[in-house]
Structure 1
Amino acid sequence: MKNDLERRIRQTGSWLYQLIEDETPSIFRKDYWTGKVIDWSMHNEAFKVEMFRFIDVFPYLIRPESVAKHLQEYFCRPDQCFPAALQWGLRQLSPTSFAAKMVAKSMAKNIESMGAQFIAGATPQEALGTLEGLRAQGMAFTVDLLGEAVVSRAEEEVYLSRYLELLDFLGHASSRWTPLGGGSGSLDWGFAPKVNISLKPSALYSQMNPVAFDYGVERAKERLRPIFRKAMQWGAFVCLDMEHTALKNMTLALYRSLMEEPEFRDYPHTGLVIQAYLRDSEEDLGSIIEWARKRGRRCTVRLVKGAYWDAEVVWARQNQWPIPVFTCKPETDAQFEKLARILLENHDVVSCACASHNIRSLAYVLELSKELKVPSDRLEYQILYGMAEPVRSALKKAGLPLRLYTPIGEIIPGMAYLVRRLLENTSNESFLRLSFSEGVSREDLLRNPLDVLAERSQEATATDSSIAKEAVAPFANEPPWDWTQARVRRDFQQALAKVRKSFPVKVPLVVGGVKITGDSVFSSTNPNDTREVVGLVASAGRREAQEAIRAAKEAFESWRNTTSHERAAYLFKAAQIARSHRFELAALQVFEVGKSWKEADADVCEAIDFLEYYGREMIRLGTPRRMGHVPGEISHLFYEPRGVTAVIAPWNFPLAISTGMTSAALVTGNTVVYKPASQSPVTGWRMVRLFEEAGLPSGVLNFVPGPGSVVGEVLVTHPDVAAIAFTGSRDVGLNILRKAHDTSPSAQMIKNVVAELGGKNAIIVDADADLDEAVVHVLHSAFGYQGQKCSACSRLIVLEENYDKLLARLKAAAESLELGPVEDPKNMMGAVIDAGAKAKILEYIEIGRSEGKVLLERHFGHANGHYVPLVIFTDIQPHHRLAQEEIFGPVLSILKVSSFDEALDVANGTPYALTGAVFSRSPENIDKAKKTFRVGNLYINRGCTGAIVGRHPFGGFKMSGIGSKAGGPDYLLQFMVPRNVVENTLRRGFAPKEE
């Protein structure tokens, strides 16, 4: 039976190929500009990258000279191997010439022509002729309204109104349309509404975030209800599109929740999408079918392969997550067939919209539906407008119900959609490319994907058997939690409750392995509600600090002589213990220092990364290095620790930075006296306990919370302290440097100071920047963790060409952020750390009122925490205090410039040099920024916060600090001194043979 079905599938596939009659999709026809671009792109990967990037940026280039300049930058770089004629012509083009204007005009026409192949029109009115033309040819449609990424409530409203207007417009127009396929009234083929729309949930609620899963679903439902009501009024079909994986579970929950409401429960014309390339797509489909069966109502599932494959793979690898998609095309094709079978077998509760251009997939569904006797009103076929015209022609001739997914929108917001379509068609395994460009045989293309997979598996097994396994696992970053998973959100909520029950935590001093409670105690409170006491902390004085130094000094010799491998093992064990307590360690930070759920988890991940990375680095550096290779001499360079190290930590990354500085000192063989920030002593105590549970010997790590003016003073000036690691403000850091280097006569060493002191970080937004990305990243960089990161963006430098548009979108987006206590996951921004910080920030806000203009000021409605308003200032000049001085709070200054060179001058015009970012799609400007934007960490087309250990070694210069970069290959060297031992092996004219 199975073999007979396979035979019929191949027969039907061959029949569909015959119906194509040697047609070629327009995108592959080389007599069109699009066809030429596609052909070059398929045969030159570098050209493909540059061309698609140029197509993406082109609509933002409002001046002909910008078009000519970008053409030269994208296609005339010396390292490119593009057609000589193309490069020669572009190189001779003066950006300000008449010829440049003609080129720009021609390019605009070509790209608009390309867009018109995939986009039916800029507005529903403009697209109506196309839609009615499709119906005249016997094809239905579903309309998707393209738009800019929605980043604010204002843009949500626009998108909502566009869909409501679309439904009214199409509803009125449909009254004159003859039903397709012999249908009657408002139904095509007797079962499908004439009016059919598709929409993305993220366009209806701009702050969709899986961390605040339930809240996001409720907010999105508020936006969807008017659309569903309007659809019911016209009898239209509504399909919720599926986007990237981060929103997949929210979309599934959103659809089910909405359709369970009494108002919509009985409406039959709704559906959603399942993407076959997702590994969990079978589980998702099963849950939808089970849900539909329980509620006794049918829904439609549009089954697609998936359109975000490249991005999904990159995002997963960046987060060290399992790749959520199948990694080869036959796997996706096989999954598509498997899911199609499940859908068709359950046709009593779900209808199937088979969305594919793959002849094999279409033939499979067609034949299987016959075998399973699926009623005709439970199945339709869908393809993309502007693509696969031959496939469309074959399905029409076969008499199958066919619907075209038809985007409508302006060319600029349509670029993202257009580029996805181009990527899809030029990929090596694209069915259309293989069929109509590469000339792969129809027999091969109609093969069962399971057979193809079996062959590939045999080949891979033969290859893998010869690969030896590595003895030591390389460093890999700790994956952040995937908040799309209900288990993660539930466990974190439980951790918050568990940690709160432990308050107030009693925190002792630890000196020489002995816990000391002492008589002096201070409180650590929740900055979002100061009535809540997180911990009662023993406070060290001068005597306790001196005793801690003495204990560390006594433990030093034994710890120094411990091998680097053994010391690293303590770090690895501490990392494993931290993993087992990840939720609690993050939950504590929500309460003690006011970090949001994601920010708190990121801090714990970074702490684990430091332990794992520095452990491996010490193993690398712990092997003596042979210097020179002359006969009769053996010379080795090696490193040894400096001695007692004082670690003075900040409160803003209370676990990560504390762990980083402490583990670096410990693994290099130093003993440590650790003073946490007075605002985060409970988190500091949890770090000490990690090392305690790992079995670290007594006296190697000593813990002395207390006032900086007392404890810090002893640690900095004591003659037995060999090194100081400090992260904090510039003024305190400079004071430490002065006192540490005022060497007393009794000192046995010159102190080494590693100090990270903060920044006045800028983000430059170029004239051609992608504002969809820039707005989101600027907001996160400026207001994430209330702007209390040394890397936070406090200056936004914008070129005048897009200044007004960026300001409008940024203001609207900032107005849409959720503010409030960060224990609630919906809130992006909460209280600042303490009363002193609040007073300082409020003072700078008043300075800003005198120096510039308030674009936006948002206050909190909470009285019991250290809340300050979120403020954005415009008309700030480079010399203003707001543009020069570190504020460390949610205050953003915007500076307008006339050129990219001026932007770089302004960015470099402060005493700080920590982080910076540039949003630009100009290769020349990006190269210029790399060379002249003088900061320790420069980010291109992403925000300026969020450095990752091992990937973004972190640290600055000028007034931003002294020392090498944390989380990088040079950091541990600062905690050691190099030694060289040379042995003369020549004896009486005889020397050992050189190895």
Structure 2
Amino acid sequence: MSINGEWVGEELDLLKVSNPANGQIVGSVPNGGEKEANLAVEAAHRAFQTWSKTTAYERANHLKRLHQLMLENQEELAQIMTLEMGKPINESRGEVNYAASFIEWFAEEGKRIYGETIPSHTSGKRLQVWKKPIGVVAAITPWNFPAAMLTRKIGPALAAGCTVIMKPSGESPLTAVKLMELCEEAGFPKGVVNLITGSSSKIAKAIMDDARVRKITFTGSTEVGKILIRQSANQVKRLSLELGGHAPMIVLDDANVDVAVKGVMASKFRNAGQTCICANRIYVQASIYDTFVAKFAEAVEELKVGNGVDESVDIGPLINQAGLDKVNHHVQDAITKGATILTGGKSITSDGGVFFAPTVIKDVDQSMVVMQEETFGPVAPVQKIASEEEAVKLANDTPYGLAAYVFTENVARGTRVIEQLNFGIVGWNDGAPSAAQVPFGGMKESGIGREGGHEGIDAFVESQYVSIGLE
């Protein structure tokens, strides 16, 4: 762990990190807890007193240097990521670029935190709004995007003048360790960026109980997000929450089927389906249903499963046995209730790894658990629908509202459908909508706030209204 510019934790027990592709131990991190969290908060609080007073241009220079270092170390970061959580190496390289793009974007966006001068109601006053960094920020991130989820949080926080405490997942903390090394090399002063690893419950409790931490930014399950909301109430901590999803993909009868198949392949099978915005429920209009599922299954059969270090692999392992058990349960439930497996449908035993074959299921319906719960695996259920009205009704029938996808060549129809969808992100004829310059976040139980884009930095500043009397 790195606290106040010092690497610490040698005396602590270790948390071992294993490669889900083969079960081999690839590294370890200290099992920190309340004591280490308190030390990190103290360091970040102390550093905030000076970091918050630096200019946006000074902060941008550090961030630009970090961006450069991430690109220079792309291959090492990608290899670490693949070893610790199984992502195919080409996807890992892509994630490093994506993660670095947030650092570059917010390096510039920090220069555009504008205040206001408001016309006064009287000649004897001047009315202004100042923008101030919110304070110490704790960034708690999941295992599935160990680089991008961190940079999407620390980039705007640092650019705004906040100091940060990074808490990565215990399943994939090694990428964060390397990012911390690069932050040091980029010249961030001591205490501005801190890294703690270990017990999530103990660390989170210490952070939530400490009034000096003014902001929590979290990506993870809706269940944990609700716990953080309740815990934040005692001190009215500011929260940004990117939570669970259950993304629908609607393919209407005027869609280009080849474009739709390409879109669902890009969305569904990235990171073996272990993404919060991947297509989980595919609704296809009846007249093109058979054509779509045939072409889709044919494309899925071409995907290669294996250890992510192999350059030719498309689908890596699931993160752990619990993830595999959940996918198996979803598939078996669908079969029991009358669905048909077109390809895949089974786990794969390979060198101690945790793999599931890329799967397409047709003839599913709303009674099946796969259409009600987020699978987080390489399983694509396809349901036949009669109309766009039915598609909208089924798509919105969920407590989640993170991402949705619509495929239609008709502009009026696409606009009409999307206006009725209650999701924070919509890909229209696009299976990969994410980018640093756009707002990322959900409606309903999928979260609070937005990350990325100009909205992404707003969450890390406070507005201070100042009324200046001149008489």
Asked if TM exceeds 0.5, the reply is yes
Give the distance between the partners of 1:626 and 1:957, measured in 2 at CA: 32
Q: % of aligned pairs identical?
A: 31
Give the distance between the partners of 1:852 and 1:969, measured in 2 at CA: 47
Alignment equivalent of 1:543, drawn from 16, 28, 35: 35
CA shift, 1:551, in A, is 1.7
Pairing 1:565–2:52 present: no
Whether the 8 Å CA contact 2:249–2:405 is kept in 1: the answer is yes
Question: What amino acid does structure 2 have at the position aligned with 1:985?
Answer: L
Matched with 1:628 is: 119
Change (3 A) 1:871 1:716: farther
Matched with 2:11 is: 518
Matched with 1:800 is: 286
Change (3 A) 1:767 1:980: same
Alignment equivalent of 2:459, drawn from 969, 974, 992: 974
> In the comparison of the two structures, how many residue pairs are matched?
467
Whether the 8 Å CA contact 2:21–2:351 is kept in 1: the answer is no
Pairing 1:955–2:458 present: no
Question: What amino acid does structure 1 have at the position aligned with 2:380?
Answer: L
Give the distance between the partners of 1:844 and 1:734, measured in 2 at CA: 25
1:345-391 Cα offsets, whole Å, 9 max, x none, are xxxxxxxxxxxxxxxxxxxxxxxxxxxxxxxxxxxxxxxxxxxxxxx
Pairing 1:671–2:157 present: no
Matched with 2:201 is: 709
Question: What amino acid does structure 2 have at the position aligned with 1:778?
Answer: V
CA shift, 1:696, in A, is 0.8
Give the distance between the partners of 1:688 and 1:921, measured in 2 at CA: 45
| Pairing 1:382-393 to 2, within 5 Å after superposition | none
Whether the 8 Å CA contact 2:303–2:358 is kept in 1: the answer is no
Matched with 2:429 is: 941
CA shift, 1:891, in A, is 1.8
Structure 1: state its 5+ residue gaps: 1-508, 987-995
1:506-535 Cα offsets, whole Å, 9 max, x none, are xxx11122211232111112121212x222
Whether the 8 Å CA contact 1:884–1:910 is kept in 2: the answer is yes
| Pairing 1:430-509 to 2, within 5 Å after superposition | 509=1
Q: Whose strand proportion is higher, 1 or 2? A: 2
Matched with 2:245 is: 759
Whether the 8 Å CA contact 1:854–1:871 is kept in 2: the answer is no
Question: What amino acid does structure 2 have at the position aligned with 1:548?
Answer: A
What secondary structure does 2:191 align onto? Answer: coil
Question: What amino acid does structure 1 have at the position aligned with 2:32?
Answer: A
Question: What amino acid does structure 2 have at the position aligned with 1:617?
Answer: E
Give the distance between the partners of 1:780 and 1:970, measured in 2 at CA: 26
Whether the 8 Å CA contact 1:767–1:800 is kept in 2: the answer is yes
1:789-813 Cα offsets, whole Å, 9 max, x none, are 1011111100001111111221222
Whether the 8 Å CA contact 1:518–1:539 is kept in 2: the answer is no
Pairing 1:658–2:143 present: no
Give the distance between the partners of 1:767 and 1:851, measured in 2 at CA: 27
Change (3 A) 1:624 1:775: closer
1:274-325 Cα offsets, whole Å, 9 max, x none, are xxxxxxxxxxxxxxxxxxxxxxxxxxxxxxxxxxxxxxxxxxxxxxxxxxxx
Matched with 2:311 is: 825
Whether the 8 Å CA contact 2:12–2:32 is kept in 1: the answer is no
Pairing 1:534–2:22 present: no
Give the distance between the partners of 2:353 and 2:89, measured in 1 at CA: 18
CA shift, 1:641, in A, is 1.8
TM-score, scaled to structure 1: 0.46
Give the distance between the partners of 1:873 and 1:707, measured in 2 at CA: 38
What secondary structure does 2:139 align onto? Answer: strand
CA shift, 1:652, in A, is 1.1
Matched with 2:131 is: 639
What secondary structure does 2:269 align onto? Answer: helix
Whether the 8 Å CA contact 1:646–1:716 is kept in 2: the answer is no
Pairing 1:600–2:86 present: no
CA shift, 1:978, in A, is 0.5
1:605-647 Cα offsets, whole Å, 9 max, x none, are 12211111112111110x4322226644332212112222111
Question: What amino acid does structure 2 have at the position aligned with 1:811?
Answer: A
Structure 2: state its 5+ residue gaps: none
Change (3 A) 1:522 1:869: same
Alignment equivalent of 2:335, drawn from 849, 854, 865: 849
Alignment equivalent of 1:787, drawn from 259, 273, 280: 273
RMSD: 1.8
Whether the 8 Å CA contact 2:442–2:448 is kept in 1: the answer is yes
What secondary structure does 1:789 align onto? Answer: coil
Whether the 8 Å CA contact 1:835–1:866 is kept in 2: the answer is yes
What secondary structure does 2:284 align onto? Answer: strand
> Rg bigger for which structure?
1
Whether the 8 Å CA contact 1:650–1:658 is kept in 2: the answer is no
| Pairing 1:290-301 to 2, within 5 Å after superposition | none
Q: Whose helix proportion is higher, 1 or 2? A: 1
Give the distance between the partners of 2:423 and 2:149, measured in 1 at CA: 20
TM-score, scaled to structure 2: 0.95
What secondary structure does 1:530 align onto? Answer: coil
1:441-472 Cα offsets, whole Å, 9 max, x none, are xxxxxxxxxxxxxxxxxxxxxxxxxxxxxxxx
Matched with 2:415 is: 927
Question: What amino acid does structure 1 have at the position aligned with 2:465?
Answer: N
| Pairing 1:23-42 to 2, within 5 Å after superposition | none
Give the distance between the partners of 1:923 and 1:740, measured in 2 at CA: 43
Give the distance between the partners of 1:546 and 1:625, measured in 2 at CA: 37
CA shift, 1:787, in A, is 0.3
CA shift, 1:879, in A, is 4.8
Give the distance between the partners of 1:878 and 1:619, measured in 2 at CA: 49
Pairing 1:836–2:322 present: yes
What secondary structure does 1:529 align onto? Answer: coil
What secondary structure does 2:466 align onto? Answer: strand
Give the distance between the partners of 1:866 and 1:840, measured in 2 at CA: 12
Question: What amino acid does structure 2 have at the position aligned with 1:857?
Answer: G
Matched with 1:729 is: 221
Give the distance between the partners of 2:457 and 2:107, measured in 1 at CA: 10
CA shift, 1:907, in A, is 1.1
Question: What amino acid does structure 2 have at the position aligned with 1:860?
Answer: I
1:394-421 Cα offsets, whole Å, 9 max, x none, are xxxxxxxxxxxxxxxxxxxxxxxxxxxx
Give the distance between the partners of 2:178 and 2:334, measured in 1 at CA: 39
Looking at both structures, which has the greater relative contact order when contacts are Cα pairs under 8 Å and sequence separation is at least 6?
A: 2
| Pairing 1:243-392 to 2, within 5 Å after superposition | none
Give the distance between the partners of 1:534 and 1:715, measured in 2 at CA: 29
Give the distance between the partners of 2:317 and 2:365, measured in 1 at CA: 28
